[in-house]
Structure 1
Amino acid sequence: MIAKPDVKPARPWFSAGPTAKRPGYSLGGLPQDLLGRGIRAPEVVERFAHGLRLTRAVLEVPDSHVLLYTPGSDTGAVEAALWGMLGQRPVQVVAFENFGLTWLADVRDHLGLEPEALTAPWGELPDLSRADWSKDVVFPWNGTTSGVRVPDADWIADDREGLAICDATSAAFAMPLPFDKLDVVTFSFQKALGGEAGIGVMVLSPRAVARLDSYRPERPVPKLLRLTDGKGFDRALADGVAINTFSILTIEDWIDALEWAQGIGGLSELVRRTDANFAALADWVERTDWIAFLPERPEIRSTTSVCLKFLDPRVTGLDEAGQKAFVKRFKALLEGEAAVFDMEPHRNAPPGLRLWCGCTVETADVVAATPWLEWAFETAVGEISD
């Protein structure tokens, strides 16, 4: 039996959402002077606008694009794009993990459209050469639940007729995003920068704004997803005006994360930190015989939401229910020691491990977590044998 490690991660938070708060975070350090003010108060709208300006600066969004907030985190942002923009052209949905499959079902079953589906098994990508840019194409940049990402943007046509609608919630602030290739980019506060949940962000290219200006879907669009007014795209949204009542404290928390990101060096440093965390975990995976990456191809492995699969026949020989029970015990062992929290995969993903390696995680904590993973595995496997 392997000995219990002596050193724990200083910050043992590895959830894929909400992700770890930034190093040095303090709730008490957030400004509180606007709490309790009306959502339409000029000072509050300006604070929301300030958050958008900081988001643009840190994410290096071109001046040609507009940013706005949506209710409902990344899910709300994606749904606003689907409900408000789709239907003018045929649609393709690239689905290689849980959320891509969700967008596919929504487009087909709730919008009543007939999308072409480009799918792949867990751990793989579809054939991206089949993307048809005469159509609107909906896709995740990084599959939070499968640990798979698109390797680059070469498959996205520069002369596309349709829109490139990209769910980038576990890629933004951790991987460079080519905004010249993307027409709608969505993400949420609670992913890569460890913000609080409930608010999403959309980045719209001029082509996406033109779609909202010119196209009115026949279906009614719920108020919470409505990006237009009587004239087209509601330009007030790009100035910090909220669709509905948002949490001011959540916005202050977001601004705090963005100011931290700016202070440490901006996007390049966020990507560097993410890559260093992934490299530390990858080094452990490569020298550990009972675990492997869910995606077998290195070029498509996510550096943020890292998904792993078991190789040991004592685990793989169990049925699905048995493997899920093993993961549950694995998790309980780690959390009982307050060593590693929230390392389980998404409920719809294959049984295995999932650890967030985004920029708010410290590399030293990734390194410190791996002996605990080994201890928990040996302990849980020993219990199976007994």
Structure 2
Amino acid sequence: MITFYPGPSKVYPEVQHYVNETFDSGVISANHRSEAFMKMLEETISGLKSKLNVPADYEVYFVSSATECWEIIAQSLISEGSLHIYNGAFGEKWMEYTQKLTGSARSLPFELNEESEIGKVTSSANEVICLTHNETSNGTVISDQVLNALRARTDNIIAIDATSSMAGVVLPWESCDVWYGSVQKCFGLPAGMGVMIVSPKAVARAIEIGENAHYNSLLFIRDNFIKFQTPYTPNTLGIYLLGKVMQQVASIREVSDETKKRAAEWYSFLADNGYQALVQNEAVRSDTVIAVRETRERIAELKKAAKQAGIVLGNGYGKEKETSFRIANFPAITQDEIDILKQFLVSMTSQ
């Protein structure tokens, strides 16, 4: 099956070889305090920072998932409260979970085709501002211009969910203080690990708050990672595979250019062949998750026929669950596979 599901999505085929390598090297069985593990972790972090062009003074931690980052941020960085700016299901879920933990999460929702209105942001000094860079549920994105404008406007800690865009497009790292994502999307890896990238400013805030009561407190995680260790037995295989994929892929600038080129071709193709993009405002369309509007009946027909043709389309999600399907535009997906899906979609226009 060729999968275009937007996460977990297609894994780079080379990963099969890398898995075998871990057995041959012995690192998969190494103690996470051992020299072999520490060297591997250091190399993986170095490779990620180099390929994704992460600022030298930002720190990289590996956790269980992007979802766990909601908890880490709530525990270790929120002292007064948080402001959540979102237009989709995952941004809303982040807000709801934070509210359960802190009781002090505020919402600033906006509509599907709107740009996030930074001019409406009013936040007290110690509130953490939380945004979803690429809303996987509906195929929207917050532009670099909006994030840079927010950074210029406030000195608050800014945390951003980049789950379906990290490693797929260039990110404006210095506009935000905490970036996080998972490896099962643009990284082209099996699910089971999250990546958290933290600015010196966020580290300073964590030290100021001093929260260290949990196994996944940011300070406890950091104390270990600066020694190239982990606070708990990690996903050693996932870390090793990430390191190998970072060696394999091109620089993020090259990857991003290809992602954006393919996205533009996708949106043009859809318009030319009678399909309607869910997001009508081109300024807020995602480059990595292409959402397509259809009727419930037509979606069921498309998905059934696609499955018979050996293709997996992504379900709709959240408010658009019944009226859309989604197409992953992640780097591990090849042009040949994209062409097969396009041919299928063309064939379905006459049915």
Q: TM-score, normalised by structure 2?
A: 0.89
Q: 1:332 to 1:30 in 2, by over 3 A?
A: farther
1:91 positional shift: 2.1
Q: 1:371 to 1:46 in 2, by over 3 A?
A: same
Counterpart in the other structure of 2:241: 253
Distance 2:72 2:56 in 1: 22
SS in 1 for 2:327: strand
What does the per-residue CA deviation read over 1:47-102, in whole Å, with 9 as the maximum and x for residues that have no partner? 1222111111111111111111112x111123212221112x34210121111001
CA contact (8 A) 2:31 2:37 kept: yes
**Which of 7, 11, 16 is the equivalent residue of 2:6?**
16
CA contact (8 A) 1:119 1:125 kept: no
* AA at the equivalent of 1:275: K
Distance 1:162 1:65 in 2: 17
What does the per-residue CA deviation read over 1:23-45, in whole Å, with 9 as the maximum and x for residues that have no partner? 55434553322122222222112
What does the per-residue CA deviation read over 1:332-367, in whole Å, with 9 as the maximum and x for residues that have no partner? 2211221x2133223653321201112222233223
CA contact (8 A) 1:331 1:341 kept: yes
Distance 1:91 1:145 in 2: 22
Counterpart in the other structure of 1:118: 108
Counterpart in the other structure of 1:226: 217
SS in 1 for 2:268: helix
**Which of 278, 287, 295 is the equivalent residue of 1:294?**
278
Q: Which moved more, 1:100-109 or 1:297-306?
A: 100-109
CA contact (8 A) 1:90 1:136 kept: yes
* AA at the equivalent of 1:296: Q
**Which of 317, 336, 342 is the equivalent residue of 1:370?**
342
CA contact (8 A) 1:30 1:252 kept: no
SS in 2 for 1:158: helix
Counterpart in the other structure of 1:320: none
Higher Cα Rg: structure 1 or 2?
Answer: 1
**Which of 66, 80, 94 is the equivalent residue of 1:74?**
66
Distance 2:270 2:186 in 1: 22
CA contact (8 A) 1:281 1:366 kept: no
CA contact (8 A) 1:276 1:363 kept: no
SS in 2 for 1:80: helix
Counterpart in the other structure of 2:98: 107
Distance 2:298 2:234 in 1: 40
Q: 1:19 to 1:78 in 2, by over 3 A?
A: same
CA RMSD of aligned residues (A): 2.3
Q: Does 1:342 align with 2:327?
A: no
SS in 1 for 2:259: helix
Q: Spell out the pairing of 1:175-324 with structure 2 (5 A cutoff).
A: 175-216=169-210, 222-223=214-215, 225-229=216-220, 234-261=222-249, 265-289=250-274, 291-310=275-294, 315=295, 323=296
Distance 1:328 1:40 in 2: 50
Which sections of structure 2, spanning at least 5 residues, go unmatched?
Answer: none
What does the per-residue CA deviation read over 1:293-331, in whole Å, with 9 as the maximum and x for residues that have no partner? 111110110000111112xxxx3xxxxxxx1x6534422
* AA at the equivalent of 2:57: S
Q: 1:377 to 1:74 in 2, by over 3 A?
A: farther
Distance 2:302 2:223 in 1: 49
* AA at the equivalent of 1:295: V
Q: 1:195 to 1:239 in 2, by over 3 A?
A: farther
Higher share in helix: 2
Distance 2:117 2:66 in 1: 25
Counterpart in the other structure of 2:87: 96
Q: Does 1:155 align with 2:149?
A: yes
Q: TM-score, normalised by structure 1?
A: 0.82
Distance 2:350 2:101 in 1: 46
Distance 2:320 2:67 in 1: 18
CA contact (8 A) 2:273 2:349 kept: no
CA contact (8 A) 1:194 1:360 kept: yes
CA contact (8 A) 1:169 1:186 kept: yes
Identical pairs, percent: 17
Q: Which moved more, 1:271-280 or 1:206-215?
A: 271-280
Number of aligned residue pairs: 343
**Which of 94, 106, 122 is the equivalent residue of 1:132?**
122
Counterpart in the other structure of 2:326: 354
Q: Does 1:53 align with 2:46?
A: yes
Q: 1:377 to 1:353 in 2, by over 3 A?
A: farther
CA contact (8 A) 2:15 2:241 kept: no
